[in-house]
Structure 1
Amino acid sequence: MKPRILFMGTPEFAVPALEMLLQEEYPLLGVVTQPDRKKGRKAQLTPPPVKIVAEKHHIPVFQPARLRDSEELEQICQLKPDLIVTAAYGQILPTTLLEVPPFRCINLHASLLPKYRGGAPIHWAIYHGEDKTGVTIMYMEEKLDAGDMLMQQSVPITTTTDVGDMYQKLSVLAADMLQELLPRLIKGEIEPVVQDHSIATYAPNIKREDEEIQWERTAKQIDYHIRAFCPWPGTYTYWREKRVKVWQAICLEQISTKIPGTVLGFSDEGIQIATGEGVLQLQELQVAGKKRMDVSQFLQGNHLEIGERFGLWKD
């Protein structure tokens, strides 16, 4: 007999797992997700992707702004699920809920735990130049992503991988892993593995200041940064005091002794910029208030000079 499940998740990452549970006809008692948020220039109130799927299938939806001590928490506990499945829900579950299901609570986390615990694991894995990341399914506890691991699979990070690519891959992988895990978990065939907490690293939520390109870093590190934040939240720099988003760039096999941020040359293929070590070629930009454009389009509308600098400088 299949367990009665409460699903908790919010963004697109969680959707494939929820859809898999529906396709496999697991009894879904309800979905818990974050409140609707205002999005876009018009600040239109928008439901989370998980809510859209749940309502399409007439599944009860709970959206407490803060789950702990909320009125909804008591209602959710009264559902008495056999198992709770979470995927990028966005809040740590209180003990009162963790203790409800007999098969406990499991979480689909987009990293190779114990590395990159926290809210932005895919971003920071690419940012730090990791050669792989993956998905870990683990038991939940009140500490952040610290529970015993039930299953883990890795995916390589290539020289062209950006966070959007990896986000999609890992969301599908998480659903496939969950599909494989659940029957074995219910039968008691899974032996949990304790995380080595001594080597844990963290992936905090992205802050606005994290998005600015630091030209003193190496070309390779800046390339990691751009791909780690593409397509969201994006990286930016300044050109003639205008904010410019950088959507795509590549490292060149060149050496430069110029001050970081200096324009070394440009063509329709890209703008060559000196960094703290090596040269980065910008390929796709977006000036504040304008659309994304490749370098050839940028150069058609802007007069760029060799020797000028990108970034804000006080010297």
Structure 2
Amino acid sequence: MKIIKPKVALLTEITGGLEQTLHDYGALTLVIGIEPHNKRKSIRNPKDLPLIIKKFLKNKTQNKRSLIDFCKKHELTYVSFPYREQSILAEKLKEKKIDILITYAAPLLESSVLSSPLCDAINLHHSILPNYKGGNPIFWQILHGQIESGVTIHRLSEKIDDGEILYQEPFDFPAFTSKNDIIENFHSRSRHGIIKLLNTFIPGEPLNKISPSTGNTNKKFYARNVRRKELQDIIEWEFIEPDQLLNLVRYLGEWPIDIATPPGLLSFLPYKAEKIVTSNSPNTLQGLTASGMSLTYGTKKGVITLKPSFNPIAIIKYIRKRQRILKGKLNSQYI
């Protein structure tokens, strides 16, 4: 049976490989961003010029794999729209005769947008819904020590992660690895699911459900976004299990010095979570403890070791970040 390729629009601000997958599949027609890029600001104070140049060069470096550059390379249409003016997006979807709108890490959309594609509007989510709806499902699954997880593709509705489930793939949570590796694991499985769904496309009809829903309807924890300043309050650092702590620190990237600061010059080094130390001794030191260049963090449930990075570039970046953390400038940063 010949597979008919739909015209797909992708709404996201994240380059997670989905844009490349959809392009290779031959379906990607339109890429959509939320905020306009490269806003120009007037220079009111000449002293600001070096900072503006520095930010410009930094953005140019970081945007090598941006969605805009991707669209230019592959001669695809990129549009952005103000979130409060979704009628602009609705008109663009109709103009391009988009069959399917796919969203990932995107805000809620109005009914005018959801009804604009000719066939369907779907979203990718990194949990087995209905559990862990919300903007940060991976963080909360780590914090809760989830052993099993999965990806869900569901039809969009005007409620958060609440539409009909079309596809789910459960799998073991990718533990004891970096944040980037965890996210890529979820991304790759989501890409696989999207292609399986698109292979069932019939012009003029909504997508069909292709896998049974495996989520426990009695578990509906809402995985809200978390700011850095909340880490102290939402985590019981004294009682957290060592495997959960190891996963959490690896997800954060380095030991959070706003929770406990290493002594002396050690506080200027980025510390990575290394391993769990098995210890049943009641005399095990709790909290952050230094031994030479190494650190351990003990709770009432166990101990993990922390290993410093001596990479010069990593140290320079960390020192700058450290200053901002200690001054409270990253308190509102989302984890």
* TM-score, length-scaled by structure 2: 0.71
Which of 198, 222, 226 in structure 2 is aligned with 1:206?
226
- Is residue 5 of structure 1 aligned with residue 8 of structure 2? yes
Aligned-pair CA distance for 1:220: 3.4
Equivalent in 182, 192, 200 of residue 184 of structure 1 = 200
Is the 1:115–1:199 contact (alpha carbons within 8 Å) kept by the matching residues of 2? Answer: yes
Corresponding residue to 2:287 among 230, 249, 261: 261
Give the structure 2 partner of residue 281 of structure 1: 305
Deviation at 1:7, TM superposition (A): 1.4
Residue in structure 1 matching 2:296, options 266, 269, 272: 272
Alignment of 1:215-294 (within 5 A): 215-218=237-240, 219-230=242-253, 235-236=256-257, 237-240=260-263, 245-254=270-279, 255-257=281-283, 260-263=286-289, 266=291, 270-284=294-308, 291=315
Question: Which whole-Å CA distance do the structure 2 matches of 1:165 and 1:256 have between them?
Answer: 35
Q: Quick one: structure 1 residues 64 and 247, their matched pair in 2 at CA, closer, same or farther if it must change by over 3 Å?
A: farther
Which residue of structure 1 lines up, in the alignment, with residue 71 of structure 2? 54
Shift of residue 50, structure 1, vs aligned partner: 2.8
Tell me how far 1:178 sits from its aligned partner. Answer: 1.1
What SS does the corresponding residue of 1:280 show, helix, strand or coil? strand
Q: Which residue of 1 aligns with 2:330?
A: none
Per-residue CA distance 1:131-177 (angstroms, 9 max, x = gap): 12221111011111111111111232254233211111221221111
- The percentage of aligned residue pairs carrying the same residue is 22
Displacement of 1:75 in angstroms is 3.3
For the pair 1:23 / 2:24, whether they are aligned, the reply is: yes
How far apart, CA to CA, are the structure 2 residues paired with 1:261 and 1:157? Answer: 27
Report deviation, 1:107: 1.1
Structure (1/2) with the larger strand percentage? 1
Report the secondary structure of 1:184's partner residue: coil
8 Å contact kept, 1:245–1:285: yes
Q: 2:109 aligns with which of 85, 93, 99?
A: 93
User: Deviation at 1:37?
Assistant: 7.7
Structure with the bigger percentage of helix:
2
CA distance in 2, matches of 1:97, 1:72: 7
Structure 2 Cα separation of the partners of residues 201 and 56 of structure 1 = 41
Q: SS of the counterpart of 1:150?
A: strand
Q: 1:238 offset after TM fit, Å?
A: 1.5
Deviations, residues 85-143 of structure 1 (Å, cap 9, x unaligned):
1222x211111010112321011212211122222222222222111222111101111
**Count, aligned residues:** 283
Structure 1 unmatched ranges of 5 or more: 294-315
Q: Distance in 2 between matches of 1:112 and 1:12?
A: 22
Tell me the equivalent position of 1:297.
none
Normalising by structure 1, report the TM-score: 0.75
RMSD (CA atoms): 3.5
Instruction: Using the TM superposition, give the Cα deviation of residue 191 of structure 1 relative to its aligned residue in structure 2, in angstroms.
Output: 5.8
Task: Identify the range of structure 1 (16-25 vs 71-80) with the bigger mean alpha-carbon deviation.
Answer: 71-80
**3-state DSSP class of the match of 1:235?**
coil
Cα drift, residue 251 of structure 1: 1.9
Consecutive unaligned residues in structure 2, runs of 5 or more:
40-51, 318-335
Distance 1:261 1:65, change over 3 A: farther
